[in-house]
Amino acid sequence: MTPLADALARAGWETSIARLAGHGTSPDDLARVTWQEWVASAREAYQDLRRRCRRVALVGLSMGGALALYLAAADPPAAVVTISAPVRIRPLLASATRVASKVMPVVPVLVRLVPRDADVRPYWSPYSRIPLAAAGQLELLLAETRRVLPEVRVPLLVVQGRRDWIIPRDSADEILRLAAGVPATMLWLQRSGHVATLDRDWAVLADAVTEFLRVHGAD
């Protein structure tokens, strides 16, 4: 999230990047946390920013997007931006994960598509292993996010990459359907995969988020 946060800071916004529980340390730490701990760490960063700023927007990538929607339902920000956010795991992947986790707690990352842009390459995750327990916790979080999404009442910018094979292709449409009635904007990034903040359209994404927040008054 750092390149996007830096772009927003250059545009004049105060920014804060939440380090979610179990992230930024080791796969073993990630295997031990619950979805409630992810929510707690995101909420802590959100509340800290609210103490310093009159209006706050939430911007989240992947699971972070689901967390942003979950928090927005109970404690509305000025606006929410979701990037590559799922609201459910692919059914086949979910079933396979449940079975595999009983015999293989951690799986290796077999394919690592390193960003082409050298400026954002240092921000790519160094993890080479993924704990399957985290996938189970993600399922629980996404179920709760689907449940509360109809309660979200703030402007939304929903961003998804055309080349994202990680999340279900209809994720963006489902977010918009469940959050029906709010001012919503959909942005498809034509050349981006799942980690759109580091992919080839990342500058387009930064410009779109900057303009969206300017319109909806976060400061």
Q: What is the DSSP letter of 157?
A: E
* Catalytic-role residue among 23, 41, 62, 101: 62
Catalytic residue at 194?
A: yes
* Catalytic-role residue among 194, 199, 201, 216: 194
Q: Could you please report the per-residue DSSP string of 172-199?
A: HHHHHHHTTTS-EEEEEETT--S-GGGS
Helix, strand, coil share of the chain (percent; to 5): 45, 15, 40
Q: Could you please report the per-residue DSSP string of 164-179?
A: --SS-TTHHHHHHHHT
Sequence-separated (6 or more) residues with CB below 8 Å from residue 125: none
Q: Which of 47, 32, 68 is nearest to 209 (CA)?
A: 68
Specify whether the CB–CB gap between 56 and 135 falls below 8 A.
no
* Catalytic-role residue among 23, 41, 101, 164: 164
Catalytic residue at 62?
A: yes
Point out the residues that are catalytic. 62, 164, 194
